[in-house]
């Protein structure tokens, strides 16, 4: 997925994004906290997998967010 680098930046708090979808905002915040307490490559991979799974599952309603994220 071409959004991998953007997801990584979001998780590491190197980029900021706020969606109109509450669930996405909550996921980003939770993954940022989870990664900040354990900044290992393994933890980053777990967070990335969860983010990818969320976007695959809710792809139909995340179209606008995907386009906005690509512009970050």
Residue 1 pLDDT > 70, yes or no? no
Q: What is the pLDDT of residue 54?
A: 98
How far apart (Å, rounded) are the C-alpha atoms in residues 40 and 24? Answer: 23
How far apart (Å, rounded) are the C-alpha atoms in residues 31 and 50? Answer: 9
pLDDT digits over 18-48, tens only?
A: 999 999 999 999 999 999 999 999 999 999 9
Q: What is the pLDDT of residue 2?
A: 80
How far apart (Å, rounded) are the C-alpha atoms in residues 1 and 48? Answer: 11
pLDDT digits over 47-71, tens only?
A: 999 999 999 999 999 999 999 999 9
The domain tally of the chain equals 1
CA 38, 43, 47 angle in degrees (round to 5)? 120
Distance (Å) of CA 67 to CA 41, 42, 45 = 27, 28, 23
How far apart (Å, rounded) are the C-alpha atoms in residues 70 and 36? Answer: 24
Domain range enclosing 56: 4-70
Q: What is the pLDDT of residue 65?
A: 96
């Amino acid at each position: 997925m071409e959004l991998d680098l953007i997801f990584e930046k979001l998780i590491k708090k190197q980029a900021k994004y706020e969606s109109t979808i509450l669930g996405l905002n909550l996921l980003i915040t939770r993954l940022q906290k989870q990664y900040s307490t354990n900044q290992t490559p393994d933890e980053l991979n777990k967070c990335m997998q969860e983010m990818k799974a969320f976007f695959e599952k809710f792809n139909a309603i995340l179209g606008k967010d995907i386009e906005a994220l690509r512009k970050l």
